[in-house]
Structure 1
Amino acid sequence: FFITSNTVYLWFRTSFYSVPMAASLFFTSLGLWCYLGFNRTHSLLNIVLGSFFIALNLGCRPTFSIAVLFALPAIYSHIEKDLPNILRNWKQVSSWHKPFKYFAAWILPCVITAIPFGIYNLLRFGSPLNFGNEYQITITDMTTMRLPSQNILPSIFSYIALPLRFIPTFPWIGIQPIAFDRWQYAEPMIGGMFTLSPLALVGIICVFIMKKRCRTHIAWQTSVIAIIVGLVLIVFDSLKAGIGWRYIADFAWSFAIAAAIGISLLLEYASTLQSENSLHKKTIAYTIRLLVAVLLFASIAIAVLSWFVTGREDSTLRFNPNLWFAFRSWMTLF
């Protein structure tokens, strides 16, 4: 999760632009932790706190507020048995008491938390829903910028699977040029989400392949919501923000959740195979674990080397040359 969500980039490149994303990842993680804890505590306070923390994203990175959808699997698991009775007696007010209670615990904290942010937006930008993102001082006029339609699919592909470019000198990974038919905002990147974290791709594939191994519906439902949310955010970022390495943090956290579930299912499957008295199955189990370990260490290596990539305004060579040259000397001893 740490690598896939692009936290490594935000941690090492502590510029002003990283602050709202890092804050949103923090509040979103707290909110999701509360939501997931609801199945253990069965306390509505978990839903209330989860919605509150996620709603705080309106003051950081508003797109992260879509994480409130992750409460749905937890809530649904508690009212699923009552749904037939609710639908059968839908005219009776008493039958709607329980779902309304959950709905209020989910939505009201979001509404209450959003009020001061809405007032601020109204006073400063003229609308409660205008967060001022189009008025930032940048290289282009964001109030008139529109992504050319022919660039949409290449932008999405770049975010997901822009390949790495290997070079013969330290840090052996270089900036990957991105070319579009028409001009759009595009910062230099070294690769897409799944090339920076190939284990995440394996995890998401495993979610679908091993759906039947999910012991509870909530794991599968959470995975589906995570993938849908991630896709929505990729499209939104491509249309509204263009291409930027740091923007991967806007959506990668959602895919990381689904990937974590998929890898857990894969390792559970490997554990099941290893427990059986069969050399063939034990070999498969160890192969799976070796694959996971190799991909994990590959992701870590890419993440570490990405700190020292040159060709960007925020490169380590520019803001901390002593560290860059020291690390290069360690890596090129032989």
Structure 2
Amino acid sequence: MSKIEFRNVIKIYRGSERAAVNNVNFEVKSGDFVVFLGTSGCGKTTLLKMINRLYEQTEGSIIIDDKDTRELPVNDLRRKIGYVIQQSGLFPHMTVAENIAVVPEMLGWDKKKIELRIDELLELVHLDPKVYRNRYPRQLSGGQQQRIGLARALAADPPIMLMDEPFGAIDAITRTKLQDELIHIQKKLHKTILFVTHDVDEALRLADKIVIMKDGIVVQYDSPLNIIANPKDDFVRDLIGGDDIIRQVSLISVKDAMQKATVDTVVNPADTIPDTSDIKSALAAMLKSGNENLYVINERQDIVGMIDFAQIQALLKPKVKKAMQVVN
């Protein structure tokens, strides 16, 4: 269990008359990947850092599994929460193995268990332990450093991960690879992840739910699909590029848009699409094959749902209509 609740959370910095975070209320379910999205200064990083008490809230409560975080010893709280920042935060004088081992050593793990955990995590982030164990951060690329930062945050197997723009300083190609890696890791480990970004495409690609913030206030808390299909106001619509229909269908996962499906017969592989695909890919596959529906499969090739042309049409129709009104 790792449910997180924000109850009337307010943060006012000393000397400021305006709340950086203003009366925030929402709940993060255990195992959800939640992205905090907004422009610079909207309060998303402040909100994230109050979870592990790097910042203390002025008013309100942050509850983790029915316990107020302010009632927990701060060191005990932080040992149960992984934390990844933009520049990886690796200790330059320590090897990769020593960096990953920091928290397990603090927790008193025995040496053999730590050594096995280091190898396990390096393999998880697709870095060969034999090659990278004894390297120093200066001997790694930026993308490799971020992978090690992620491995270190996962070292003690915390139920909660906080990620503060972890891929913000990485080039676009490496960034996409790291996003893919994170999606893969989350499918395997099912952590509760809270992730800060100002990159809309990154938010839509990674999140189960998105918290959109403006001036310290949560404007909309919803799934990527609902945010795209039903933005709450003009601010949300403009933030996500609400009139760019082609871009949006390339960012909506078929998993988010699919319906449940029961299958009694063997399905032709040509009639399936992976749950990692987007609606644009599904639409292209339908047009190519002539099929009006596709079965959605997971990485084990199990059928987990179905998406059809009518669903895609219903999703896009209001957007096309609005776009045509703008043109006319």
TM-score w.r.t. length of structure 1: 0.24
Q: Which has the higher helix share?
A: 1
**Larger Rg, first or second structure (1 or 2):** 1
